[in-house]
Chain A
Amino acid sequence: MKGKLIIASIVLFLISCGDSTPKKKYGAENPSTSTDNSNPSYDPNRGEGKFSKVDVAATIDDAKASTGNKVYGVKCSSCHKLTTEKLVGPGWQGVTTRHTAEWIMNFATNPDPMITKDPKAQAMLEICLVRMPNQNISDDDARNLYEFMRKNDVAK
């Protein structure tokens, strides 16, 4: 009985404490899309977003990569070079070897919640100090961009 009471009061303490403790390490710019980072189900390989399983063929899809290149020119090239050189964000060379397709496409389409909780994204934020903006990339364009990244990695 006594033990139960203690557990109950610890639980209460945790709950009330949780309300006033900041949940996000660096805070979110967009509270409507961010979620609680205490969720233990977060998968750092997949990231968080729409994509759970991306089919990637053995060979490069040139049509996709070419569209991806165009999207890169409008929405990404201001900050990401195709080499390893960091501009505002990290250079893209080797990105497909560092992250899964799912992680990259989730991060491209859902950056803010991931910056808030993903260990790799947080480590990168400490280097770049600029939160990657949400460039409202469509699902198809995220896939096209991924193909363009693969092509870039194969070429280098």
Chain B
Amino acid sequence: MKSKNGLLTLASIAIALGIYSCKPKNAGNAVSADAAQKVYVAPGKYDEFYNFVSGGFSGQMSVYGIPSGRLLRVVPIFSNDPESGYGYSEETKPMLNTSHGFIPWDDQHHLDLSQTNGEIDGRWIFANANNTPRVARVDLKTFHTNEIIELPNSAGNHSSPFITENTEYVVAGTRFSVPPDNANGDVPINTFKQNFKGYISFISVGKEDGKMDIAFQLECPGVSFDLSHAGKEKSHGWFFFSCYNTEQANTLLEVNASQKDKDFIMAVNWKKAEEYLKAGKGKKVPVKYAHNIYNEKTHTATSEIRTEVTVLDTKELKDICYFIPCPKSPHGCDVDPTGEYIVGSGKLAALIPVFSFDKLQAAIAKKDYVGDYEGIPIVKYESALYGEVPKPGLGPLHTEFDGKGNAITSFFVSSEIVKWNIKDLKVLDHAPTYYSVGHLCIPGGDTRKPNAKYVIAYNKITKDRYLPTGPELAQSAQLYDISGDKMQLILDFPTTGEPHYAQAVAADVIRNNSVKFFKIDDNANPFVAKGEAEAKVVRTGKKVDVYMTAIRSHFTPDNIEGIKMGDEVYFHVTNLEQDWDVPHGFAIKSAANAELLIMPGETQTLKWIPEKPGMYPMYCTDFCSALHQEMQGYVRVSPTGSNVPLMFSTGKNLPPVEKVEKK
């Protein structure tokens, strides 16, 4: 009997697998004949869209052209980058400073482009760090990471860096609830319910300069805040966060955090929070967090440790937060372009709930609650629900919008994307993904004005999509044409790291603002050499500062003698070029970290501590001209106490010594 049951179970698993995970026998069939024409961008022509793609465990952001899928650039944000010297040069090291010290890696999950009136304005893109909680701002004129702010009272900054429709705030939430920073964290893990809290940070963004500041934090029950999106238009002033582990499990979450039929979407009235803040209801709490800023004039970052944050207690200040029940461990929490519909994607659910902002407001006004969760009112599910999309697929994860009344949702378990109509909740189209899609991206697909020509699926599993490269494979992305009724797969392209959320925007919004070089006259680096006449070597005790210039195709100075063991040598290299796309590289034998890649008009510094006396060649690593190979020089290192005087030169053309002098 028992074995019969077992067989039945096996059989039904097999059927389920057959339905949901079997890929078409020939995946090539899914591609129609005109696909090549749709994605072909001729040599010398530009793509129509920029696609900014999170790097996941690479810690960086990559930039692709769409529809070609060409990789344009990888922008270092949370991980150091030996190729550019980011995180290695003296100027950029402070960017990776935290209250835990220098942290040159993180897990970068989500990106959000800055908006004005709910439309992408092309000024900045924000990035989250999940592991050691941080939010970064990348300037889209330079594609440089210009600011990183750490988040106190937080762990697993996952529901971030989503923004409000005028970029008033970037939010950051806690995926791993923890005891607050100023409480004793040295408590038994199974005291989760008593000691662990979930914090949400509202980071204000300077209207002109983009400067970030933690305006306030909301202390919330200890759950896992997963994803979030801001209200739009009518729902501007509200923010929505998906929550899982409302079971408050602290072990084997796979099972223990999947017990309840419904977890929550938390609706946050942040305008109300602002009122409380103004009324002085915030509590100033001592904490430690780093705030790092890169200055494009000095080409130098500074890091400051800040020591206070203002916290609003959502248990006491009752009308800031409301829980809406949502099946089942929701991931995506997405607001449609009108601001009326909030789509929850329960990753273990077989339906998609769509909530109505108007109904939610009415329910709150009537106090139509079914109880509370740690002091936060729980709105009755049916009272906030607009309707459910029945049986759309298995494991909905994330939804983007086409601006024509439709939504497209990704389904991890059934490996597909599904288009459905928001008003009548009817499924319109299914398209398979290869394989196990995570996030989706439609250009402007989370704004008021989607530009819905394409949807891009970022898949978690690659398997047989590309030539094999050993056990590790690039994550695959897939591009679909969604301009017609049916979604049409037109391109596969590999990505770097593991993309989670991504953003895309029409190229014109970004490309005309791109900086081509830095004006040498504006260079305010304290170690700049504006012209070869200012090149010099200065000894201050054991510290040697080399003010060096680089131009096609020589360094000045390129001969340095009189460095001694025990010296700390700083090469401050200024690139004197004033034209687009003429970086110079700088490398010296035995440098223990990386090279420098110096953009035209920039100054960057490499610290070097020689390990033994001898001759150390240095050279330019970025092919710069026909005489690039000649762009080289020598540094002579002598023993401690040697009487070799400090000398430096370029092109002195001293007669070479023909014979070794005899003593």
Contact = CB atoms under 8 A, between A and B. Distances in A.
A74 B530 contact: yes
A78 B651 contact: no
A91 B189 CA distance: 75
A133 B577 contact: yes
Contacts of B556: 78
A131 interface: yes
Interface string B536-564: 00000000000001011110100000000
Task: Give the one of A30, A130, A137 with max B CB within 10 A.
Answer: A130
Contacts of A131: 625
A129 B627 CA distance: 8
Nearest to B549: A78
Contacts of B651: 87
Contact of B554 (A74, A78, A133, A137): A78
A122 interface: no
A134 interface: yes
Interface in B483-538: 517, 519-521, 530-534
Interface in A59-82: 73-75, 77-79
A78 B578 contact: no
Given A129-B626, A129-B627, A134 B532 contact: no
A135 interface: yes
B552 A130 contact: yes
Contact of A133 (B533, B549, B579): B579
Nearest to A73: B531
B579 A136 contact: yes
Nearest to A76: B531
Nearest to B626: A129
B397 interface: no
Contact of A130 (B549, B578, B627): B627
A135 B531 contact: no
B579 A78 contact: no
Interface in B570-588: 576-580, 582
A88 interface: yes
A129 B556 CA distance: 20
Contacts of A129: 626-627
Interface in A123-156: 129-131, 133-137
Nearest to B534: A73
A38 to B, nearest CB: 20
Interface in B618-656: 625-627, 651
Given A133-B552, A133-B582, A77 B626 contact: no
B532 A77 contact: yes
B533 to A, nearest CB: 5
Interface in B271-308: none
A42 B371 CA distance: 84
A74 B576 contact: yes
B552 A88 contact: yes
A130 B553 contact: yes
Given A78-B554, A88-B552, A130-B627, A135 B532 contact: no
B622 to A, nearest CB: 14
Given A87-B651, A136-B517, A74 B531 contact: yes
B160 to A, nearest CB: 39
A95 B34 CA distance: 59
B576 A75 contact: yes
Contacts of A78: 531-532, 549, 551, 554, 556, 576
Contact of A135 (B533, B549, B554, B577): B577
Nearest to A78: B551
Contacts of A136: 517, 519, 578-579
Given A130-B552, A130-B627, A77 B533 contact: yes
B532 to A, nearest CB: 5
Nearest to B520: A74
A48 to B, nearest CB: 17
Contacts of B549: 78
A134 B531 contact: no
A83 to B, nearest CB: 13
A78 B551 CA distance: 7
B77 to A, nearest CB: 29
A133 B530 CA distance: 17
A28 to B, nearest CB: 13
Contacts of A77: 531-533
Interface of A: 30, 73-75, 77-79, 87-88, 129-131, 133-137
29 contacts: A30-B579, A73-B532, A73-B533, A73-B534, A74-B520, A74-B521, A74-B530, A74-B531, A75-B520, A75-B531, A75-B576, A75-B578, A77-B532, A78-B556, A88-B552, A88-B553, A88-B627, A129-B626, A129-B627, A130-B552, A130-B625, A130-B627, A133-B552, A133-B577, A133-B578, A133-B579, A134-B579, A135-B578, A135-B579
Given A75-B531, A75-B576, A133-B578, 18 more contacts: A30-B580, A74-B520, A74-B531, A75-B520, A77-B533, A78-B531, A78-B549, A78-B554, A79-B552, A87-B651, A88-B553, A130-B553, A131-B625, A133-B579, A133-B582, A134-B578, A136-B519, A136-B578
Minimum-distance CB pairs A-B, first 5: A73-B531, A74-B531, A78-B551, A134-B579, A136-B578
